[in-house]
Amino acid sequence: MSTVPLPVPSRTPLTIPTHISHSTTALRLPVRIHGKPRPVATAIIYCEGNFGAIDGKTANGLIRHSEKYEILSVIDSEQAGLDSGTVLDDEPNEIPICRDLADSLARTDTVPDYFIFGMAPSSGMLSRHQRGIILEAMSHGMNIVNGLHEFLNDDLVFAAACVADNVQIQDVRKPRDKKDLHMFSGRINEVTCPRIAVLGTDCAIGKRTTATILTRALNEYGINAVMVGTGQTGLMQGARYGIALDAVPSQFCAGELEATIVEAFENENPDVIVIEGQGALSHPAFSSSAFILRGACPNGVVLQHAPGRNHRCDFETMKMPTPAAEINLLETFADTRVIGLTLNHENMTDAEVSVAITLYEREFGIPATDALARSSDRLVEMIMLAFPALKEKLIARAQ
């Protein structure tokens, strides 16, 4: 665990409503609209050798939260027979991990609607074996959801298979034609509600999960919050607004994100907009955080950090930055402020998480929590403290 300086005076806690029970478990299906279940498509997730690991973050995210798909099973022969919820969060969800595609199909009465490639390797490309698995799924009549940088619709083999098997491929990361992309215009200043970006000290650290839980918690408290996704997994999960930012030409990144946020603001009239982060501003391998800070111009940042992570994901020679260093960089790079710290508890005991939360709160004088392992009340408090007008709006609505 990273060291922290001597304590500084702690802030005065905010009293928030306690009449709503908040679960720290995953968001489960079915999603409800106007009190009625919304029909969702069924899906199998392929995550061979990576479920619960960093490169399996797409599968991990879909198991924890999906508005678009009812997940029937996960394919990972190394963990076959286990419950996917138990593997991820020590809470069973009755979604089994299967040995292979045949095993998954044997557990269903009908062929699932979709086969989702649930891994996000750093190369963003398929291996020859993985290509074969996807073609096999298509031969059974399953549509494909592909979140990689390799666009399968542009591949003649897969295009032919779509025709032969009467199925479709969704290349989630594929951006619009350049003629339809937006340049930054400054219209972000027309968005008058708080814009909160969930950024991090590394990639694959839990930014999307924290953003999803934060958005849900705010809505449960009566604050109209809308999440804007910036990666392929968020779009697969069902984010109503978003783009796969790392697939957009750099000249248009800030403008595309700005346009998406403006659209969400105009359509939803939200009290808060939560923007999913990507990578880390300090990480030399990624530039998405810079575009998010430019395009969203966030009024506040929630910073996600993994105290038990010794080095950058996929970069063993790069030490993890301290939260203090990342906060200084963020607040120097952009006209914003870090309003809270959220922790990824990998490689940590529950007691170590509690100690880290206490020390970081004392160090920075801002709320800290673990979005997955602690009550989401603290996330709501984090936002209320930073934006007191939201508390006033909530009280006014209750009267």
Q: What is the pLDDT of residue 152?
A: 97
Q: What are the tens digits of pLDDT across the range 270-283? A: 999 999 999 999 99
Q: What are the tens digits of pLDDT across the range 210-251? A: 999 999 999 999 999 999 999 999 999 989 999 999 999 999
Helix (H, G, I), strand (E, B) or coil at 275: strand
Q: Which residue has the higher pLDDT, 47 or 20?
A: 47
**Any idea what the Cα angle at residue 207 is, between residues 202 and 210, rounded to 5°?**
145
Q: What are the tens digits of pLDDT across the range 250-309? A: 999 999 999 999 999 999 999 999 999 999 999 999 999 999 999 999 999 999 999 999
Half-sphere exposure of 192 (CA within 13 A, CB side): 3
| Average per-residue pLDDT for the chain | 90
Share of the chain above pLDDT 70, in %: 90
> Residue ranges of the alpha helices (H) in 166-206?
none
CA distance 243 to 230: 5
Q: How many other C-beta atoms can be found within 10 angstroms of the C-beta atom of residue 53?
A: 15
Q: Which domains does the chain have, with CATH numbers?
A: 40-171 (3.40.50.720), 179-398 (3.40.50.300)
| CB-based contacts of 190, cutoff 8 Å, min separation 6 | 262, 265
Residue 79 backbone zone (phi > 0: left; psi -120 to 50: alpha; other: beta) = alpha
Q: What are the tens digits of pLDDT across the range 69-80? A: 999 999 999 999
pLDDT band at 8 (very low <50, low <70, confident <90, very high): very low
Helix (H, G, I), strand (E, B) or coil at 216: helix
Short-list 55, 176, 175, CA closest to 127: 55
- How much is the pTM? 0.85
Element (H, E) at 46: strand 41-46
CA distance 40 to 18: 32
Q: What is the pLDDT of residue 314?
A: 84
Short-list 61, 44, 76, CA closest to 236: 61
